[in-house]
Amino acid sequence: MRNLNQDTITQAVLARFAGTPDARLKELMTSLVQHLHAFAREVKLTEEEWLAGIEFLTATGQKCDDKRQEFILLSDTLGLSMLTVAMNNDKPQGCTEATVFGPFHVEGAPHYEHGADVANGAAGEPCIVRGRVLGRDGEEVADAVVEVWQADAEGNYDVQYPGLDKHRARGVLTSGTDGRFHFKTIVAEAYPIPVDGPVGEMLRATKRHPWRPAHLHFMITAPGYEKLVTHVFRSGDPYLDSDAVFGVRQSLVADWIKQPDGVYSLDFDFVLNPVQPVQPVQPIQPIQPRPPAP
Ligand code: BEZ
Ligand code: FE
């Protein structure tokens, strides 16, 4: 096809994807092309703006390494991460709500016994976290794998310290037979998301602040239940209504209470959604040949 113009190019591109064998891939590519072209038309995209966009995405990719995920940060700050979480985690009433995963989860964090100090030297005020893992009917969920991670008092995750070769303020626990777990850590504080890359430039250019309200990250898995990726947010935080990544849900806001000995405590129960049993497929009845008409 030749001589394509601004009125005919979209259909020509869509036609090029018409033979995609994977139906879902075809749907995704078709819709992506339609929306990208509609965006360019709507804003009357100039060639300079297109190039600036390409340079921005290039810089975003170049900022990524095994510890830094600038594309997740971009998705988070554009609200795309939270939109995807919200669309895919519409859990029944009573279940703990999900929120963004974020870029600072690390595979292979150390396993801790109940009561251990997962801070492992991270700076911050001391805190005890106690929780239960429950099912939707209130049943206690034993042997759930509870992963926790958080920033320190400086607002940094361990992976943000160049050369630090140990895990700090992150760990994995297993719930007991009563669904309970507890650990020592440091108090969660508000912190800014990393702004030393293209996402930071975007925030500055648009006069957006980079702050996340204080929170603890949890990822909880247990056989028979849907995986839960969530946070617990600290009540009273000034950024609860303007989280840079749109992740706050009121049901996830809790009190960190300062005890007489100066140690803070947080109590929070997590309610998991059972995996829905797969409906057995009804065998197809063979079609009986009709008797011949009389
Ligand atoms: C976090 O909470 O760790 C986080 C989430 C999104 C972007 C940056 C950080
Ligand atoms: Fe975080």
Tens-digit pLDDT string for the chain (294 aa): 789 999 999 999 999 999 999 999 999 999 999 999 999 999 999 999 999 999 999 999 999 988 789 999 999 999 999 999 999 999 999 999 999 999 899 999 999 999 999 999 999 999 999 999 999 999 999 999 999 999 999 999 999 998 898 999 999 999 999 999 999 999 999 999 999 999 999 999 999 999 999 999 999 999 999 999 999 999 999 999 999 999 999 999 999 999 999 999 999 999 999 998 777 777 667 666 666 665
- For ligand 1, whether the C-beta of 203 sits within 6 Å is no
- For ligand 1, whether the C-beta of 218 sits within 6 Å is no
d(CA 50, CA 135): 49
- For ligand 1, whether the C-beta of 243 sits within 6 Å is no
Q: How far is the CA of 79 from the centre of ligand 1 (A)?
A: 12
Query: In the chain, what is the straight-line distance between the N-terminal and C-terminal CA atoms, in Å?
Result: 58
Where along the chain do its domains lie? Answer: 9-45, 70-272
CATH 2.60.130.10 fits domain 70-272: yes
Task: For residue 12, report the phi and psi dihedrals to the nearest 5 degrees.
Answer: -65, -40
HSE toward the beta carbon, residue 15, CA cutoff 13 A: 7
What residue owns the CA closest to ligand 1's atom 2?
A: 102
Q: How many residues does the chain have?
A: 294
Report how far Cα 158 is from the mean position of its chain's Cα atoms. 19
- For ligand 1, whether the C-beta of 248 sits within 6 Å is no
Q: How far is the CA of 192 from the centre of ligand 1 (A)?
A: 9
Q: How far is the CA of 264 from the centre of ligand 1 (A)?
A: 23
